[in-house]
Amino acid sequence: MVTGAGSGIGRSVAAALSEAGWSLALAGRRADALEETAVLAGGPCLTVPTDVTSPAEVAALFEAVRERYGRVDLLFNNAGTFGPGGVPFEDLTYEAWRSVVDVNLTGAFLCAQAAFRAMKEQRPQGGRIINNGSISAHVPRPHSAPYTSTKHALTGLTKSLSLDGRPYRIACGQIDIGNAATRMTEAMQQGILQANGALAVEPVMDAADVARTVVHMAALPLEANVQFATVMATNMPYIGRG
């Protein structure tokens, strides 16, 4: 299952997983975008329009997957939002904060919990959850408190799932991504605020490079796990002084 599958990294990962032989369940807010991803992916696809912030819709998503495929072997927990960009911390509204937390953290929790339950109950038991973290799970950008906070929290969720999943053959890892070329990162190619207050164009990488890494993580036997992986544009300002 891939959440946030209607565009960007989710779409690229879905296509790569399909090429690798996986049967897919695609979740996202927009039915038309999911259908476009299904056409691109080719192989067996179930599309389920889903708001990951809704417990009822997440429950319905996993029920549909079990009815179609009988089990859940992989969740790429990918749905997310940057939220309002460029808003100083002191000017953030409660609604803006809550909207990012609901999608990035609560949505990830709901999907991971549903996957965990399915993987624990099914026979043979087990499966893998891959959480989409971010470079922001390590260091923030200016004016990014909601997004950065949720990505740091997602790292804690990944570690907890790894520990709690041990008795049930449930592996959990996290991929931290930096500057994949998607609609969400278009601003980086025009010039984006840096820590020193300057605007700078940042390099990006093809989202397919992320997808190949997810496929590798997914293909491992459950006795092995990539706990954390960082995939980033080589020259982006992350290491050292940039």
By annotation, the residues acting in catalysis are 147
> Cα Rg for the chain, rounded, in angstroms?
17
Strand partners, 172: 129
At 49, give phi and psi (nearest 5°): -55, 125
Q: Are strands 199-200 and 192-193 parallel, antiparallel or unpaired?
A: antiparallel
Helices 55-69 and 108-121 cross at an angle (nearest 10°) of 40
